[in-house]
């Protein structure tokens, strides 16, 4: 069920972007299983399936011209990787193929969000 529009304006910019990101990912065929997943030492914004691949998605949003994906540096990647490892272990998904995507969301003032999905943006060996 979509988030009620009445409450949409009270959300922070980042949380609103994550909700929009989930809708976008669903529209391109991802099956979302979790959002805002936290584990000791890490967190991941969205977890979903694209076909038979488990995908951990870091959502980065900006209102200005700076590329959002530039904010996903080494330390952020490590936090996502730690959360992914915890999720895989908890759900016993050790034999399942997985990858890390970055969804860059740009929201020009007064416009609809623009999405740019970077599949396999980083790997667990970084």
pLDDT for the residue 1: 45
Q: What is the CATH number of the domain that holds 34?
A: 3.40.1350.10
pLDDT 10s digit of each residue in the chain, 126 long?
455 554 555 567 667 888 899 999 999 999 999 999 999 999 999 999 999 999 999 999 988 778 888 889 999 999 999 999 999 999 999 999 999 999 999 988 788 889 999 999 988 765
d(CA 90, CA 95): 13
Q: What count of other Cβ atoms lies within 10 Å of the Cβ of residue 53?
A: 15
The one-character DSSP state at 70 is G
Residue range(s) defining the domain that contains residue 46:
5-122
* pTM score: 0.87
- What is the number of structural domains in the chain? 1
């Amino acid at each position: 069920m979509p988030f009620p529009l009445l409450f949409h304006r009270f959300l922070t910019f980042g949380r609103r972007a994550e909700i929009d990101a989930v809708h976008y990912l669903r529209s391109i065929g991802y099956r979302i299983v979790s959002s805002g997943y936290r584990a000791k030492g890490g967190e991941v914004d969205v977890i979903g399936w694209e076909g038979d691949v488990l995908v951990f998605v870091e959502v980065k949003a900006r209102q200005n011209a700076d590329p959002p994906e530039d904010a996903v540096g080494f330390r952020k990647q490590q936090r996502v990787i730690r959360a992914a490892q915890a999720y895989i272990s908890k759900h016993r998904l050790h034999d399942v193929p997985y990858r890390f995507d970055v969804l860059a969301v740009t929201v020009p003032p007064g416009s609809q969000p623009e999405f740019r999905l970077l599949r396999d943006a980083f790997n667990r060996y970084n």
